[in-house]
A = this chain, B = another copy of it.
Amino acid sequence: MRYIETLKDGERISEVYYVKQKQIALTRTNKEYGNVILADKTGQIDTKIWDLNSGGIQEFEVGDFVDVSGQISSYNGSLQFKVERIRVANEDEYVISDYVPSSRYDVEDMFKELLGFVDSVKNEYLKQLLNSFFRNDEIFVKAFKNTSAAKTVHHGFTGGLLEHSLSVTRLCDKMAANYDYLNRDLLISAAMLHDAGKTRELSEFPKNDYTDEGNFLGHIVIGYEMVMEKIKKIEGFPEILKLEIGHCILSHHGELEYGSPKKPSIAEAIALSMADNIDAKLETLREALEAKDTNDWIGFNRWLDANVRKTI
């Protein structure tokens, strides 16, 4: 695999890339040409197909993986790919992991650890609820493992939702150990499910963009609804417990202005919102530091609202 970040001016390339954008535009002389963005997990490149009627140019769409051949050149200081031949690639011609950024951790290891937390829940109703998601809903599990936790900010990679959910669950578990008045079962159940709605708010990689549902409703309400639907199928699920776990999910952003329709009203909701916040901030910083590997100040980070640096 020849990754996009390694391409150089003047090279001839033949490789499979992912089609991120595609438009038909007009040259100054009113001739149609293809204005395309190709991508892999290391970056993206501006791509032109000047002769759309050439024999080597076949049909393709946004979201396809395409086998392209052509020339890399430099234009206004950036590289450009002039494509001469293009066709949709077969599934065996590429490995998806070359095209999507992914978690540092093994997805299956993380999921196994999460299932351990499921098994540690003693409340029968909450355990049934968790199993209905993490053991009995294959579609959900697949999405939960593949989705990122965000489009742009922290955990914006495949496996990111799982990694974040697991980390928040661990923190909640530890808080429950420190504060004996916390209901551990409720807290870690809510932790595992708090961002479940992201499986429908964001499309899977390599697209990783907001869905219509995501834009209109947001993951907080979607996740709340998903949990309520599962609970309806569990006979005898206590009404107050249903409200409490629903409340934990709705209030997990901690403040109305961050999109929670309710502020946390019970101890577990407070604990969950704090754990979510910690994991978001520490991962944001970790990613920022990793992106600029230096011991010096790396400048103002707008999510953390401060000039930040690696601890020495």
Confirm or deny: A240 has a beta carbon within 8 angstroms of a beta carbon on chain B. Answer: yes
A55 CB to nearest B CB, Å:
29
Helix, strand, loop or mixed for chain A's interface?
helix
B-chain residues with CB within 8 Å of residue A244 when the two chains form the complex: 216, 311-312
Confirm or deny: A153 has a beta carbon within 8 angstroms of a beta carbon on chain B. Answer: no
Confirm or deny: A70 has a beta carbon within 8 angstroms of a beta carbon on chain B. Answer: no
Q: Provide the bound-state CA to CA distance between A28 and B11, in Å.
A: 11
List which A172-227 residues lie within 8 A (CB) of chain B: 174-175, 177-179, 181-183, 186, 210, 212-213, 215-218, 220-221, 224-225
Which of B29, B215, B221, B306 contacts A221 (CB under 8 A)?
Answer: B221
Confirm or deny: A82 has a beta carbon within 8 angstroms of a beta carbon on chain B. Answer: no
Confirm or deny: A250 has a beta carbon within 8 angstroms of a beta carbon on chain B. Answer: yes
Given contacts A217-B247, A221-B224, contact A308 B266 (CB under 8 A): yes
Number of this chain's copies in the complex? 6
B-chain residues with CB within 8 Å of residue A263 when the two chains form the complex: 304-306
Q: Provide the bound-state CA to CA distance between A213 and B250, in Å.
A: 12
Q: Provide the bound-state CA to CA distance between A274 and B283, in Å.
A: 14
Confirm or deny: A145 has a beta carbon within 8 angstroms of a beta carbon on chain B. Answer: no
Contact B271 A282 (CB under 8 A): yes
Q: Provide the bound-state CA to CA distance between A228 and B260, in Å.
A: 19
Instruction: Determine the interface band of chain A, counting residues with CB < 8 A from chain B.
Output: 35 or more
Confirm or deny: A40 has a beta carbon within 8 angstroms of a beta carbon on chain B. Answer: no
Contact A310 B266 (CB under 8 A): yes
B-chain residues with CB within 8 Å of residue A246 when the two chains form the complex: 216-217
Which of B30, B74, B270, B310 contacts A281 (CB under 8 A)?
Answer: B270
Contact B178 A265 (CB under 8 A): no
Contact B265 A307 (CB under 8 A): yes
Contact B77 A76 (CB under 8 A): yes
Contact A259 B259 (CB under 8 A): no
Confirm or deny: A233 has a beta carbon within 8 angstroms of a beta carbon on chain B. Answer: no
Known: A76-B76, A182-B282. 4 other contacts (CB 8 A): A218-B250, A244-B312, A260-B261, A267-B311
* A-B contact list, 27 entries, CB within 8 Å: A8-B29, A10-B28, A170-B178, A171-B174, A175-B282, A179-B286, A181-B286, A186-B311, A210-B307, A216-B262, A217-B243, A217-B246, A217-B261, A220-B261, A221-B261, A225-B225, A225-B228, A250-B261, A256-B258, A259-B262, A263-B304, A265-B306, A265-B307, A266-B309, A266-B310, A267-B282, A270-B285
